[in-house]
Amino acid sequence: MISTTKSLLGLLAAFFWTAAAFAQQQPTAVAPTPDASTEDLQKATQNPVASLITVPIQNNSNFGYGPFDRTQDILNIQPVIPMNMEAAGG
Beta bridge partners of 74: 60
User: What DSSP character marks residue 67?
Assistant: T
pTM for this structure?
A: 0.42
Q: Which amino acid is at 38?
A: T
Q: What is the mean pLDDT of each run of 10 residues along the chain (90 residues)?
A: 64 59 50 72 75 89 93 93 70
Spatial CA neighbour of 73 closest among 87, 86, 59, 84: 59
